[in-house]
Structure 1
Amino acid sequence: MKYRKKPVEIEAVQFADDPDTLIKINDVLGLDPVNVSYEGPDNPVLKIPTLKGVMTAQVGDYIVKGVHGEFYPCKPDIFEETYEPSIGLPIDISKAKCISISTHELAEILGKPIEREVDKQSRRERRRKGFL
């Protein structure tokens, strides 16, 4: 029997040593405190408390907030292989639930003609040919 991994939606910010990025890491992701070490002046390092201890992120690494609120660093090449942008389509605003769909699935859905439009086109075509 084969199994497929369930899609998981995460939040992430790419680490850069500038105030705007550090504010995003704090405000958007909720990492508090944001602890940047300048022991190597040319190599700032973000220290992230995780379940496995303190991990470090270099400039360019992604800071990921997992499904259960945990934080961890991820190298850019691994991040790009593992994750793709998510498009949340709201179903019911009162319940604030979203579905997640990949870009490939969205392209497939948008690529299919709408059934009603196909019927209109076929009726128009038959009318033009004198069948209706």
Structure 2
Amino acid sequence: MTVTRYRKKPVEVDTIQWTGDNETDVQAFTGRQNFYALDDADRAGSDDPEATATVYDKLHSTWVLVYTGQHIVRGVKGEFYPIAEDVLAETYEPADSAPPADRATVLREAYEIAYAEGMRLNALEAEIGAGPYRGALAVAHLLRKAISEAQQAGAQR
């Protein structure tokens, strides 16, 4: 028998913790059809009456029992599965809380900042009658064009 050792690749996943009373939030994360809380009758008839919910793992085509306090993980293939908080802490560390923004979003935010600054500087120019501050507005318009191109490129994917 040959045993081969592997190391887990660095990967970021999104999770939400099942508190026992946040079914709507978890369903918003997983999709309504992929998660539901178990009522007393469901719990009595399940393999483990301590389970309080169930999540659908599409990668393995099965429903998995969830216990209050567990986190629901969205895996790298879009699958959902529960993980205990202590196991989560042993295998993952917190990453940036915000998922990476797409290029169009970043450019849109930069445009809004540049445009506002350009307008402020134009008002200042009019007030004191000095200096060409139109550069900020020119940058804002270039960013606007880049946003449009990024959105079109995203739509073509």
Note whether the superposition's TM-score is higher than 0.5: yes
Name the counterpart of 1:63: 72
In the alignment, does 2:22 pair up with 1:12?
Answer: no
User: Normalised by the size of structure 1, how large is the TM-score?
Assistant: 0.56
- CA RMSD in angstroms comes to 3.1
Q: Highest CA radius of gyration, 1 or 2?
A: 2
Distance 2:70 2:86 in 1: 9
Structure 2: 5+ residue stretches without partners = 107-157
User: Quick one: which amino acid aligns to residue 84 of structure 1?
Assistant: E
User: Quick one: which amino acid aligns to residue 16 of structure 2?
Assistant: V
Distance 1:89 1:70 in 2: 17
Contact kept? 2:27, 2:36, Cα under 8 Å: no
> CA shift at 1:67, angstroms?
1.3
In the alignment, does 2:46 pair up with 1:45?
Answer: no
Greater CA deviation, 71-80 or 31-40?
31-40
In the alignment, does 2:81 pair up with 1:72?
Answer: yes
Contact kept? 1:63, 1:73, Cα under 8 Å: yes
Deviations 1:61-106 (A, max 9, x none): 111111111000111110111111112696973387xxxxxxxxxx
Contact kept? 2:20, 2:69, Cα under 8 Å: no
Change (3 A) 1:68 1:90: closer
> CA shift at 1:6, angstroms?
2.1
Distance 1:17 1:91 in 2: 31
- Which has the larger share of helix? 2
Name the counterpart of 2:27: 26
SS of the aligned residue for 2:104 comes to coil
Distance 1:7 1:79 in 2: 14
Change (3 A) 1:91 1:54: closer
User: Normalised by the size of structure 2, how large is the TM-score?
Assistant: 0.48
Change (3 A) 1:43 1:95: same
Alignment length (residue pairs)? 92
Change (3 A) 1:38 1:9: same
Distance 1:3 1:53 in 2: 26
- Which has the larger share of strand? 1
> CA shift at 1:30, angstroms?
2.7
> CA shift at 1:12, angstroms?
0.5
Change (3 A) 1:44 1:89: closer
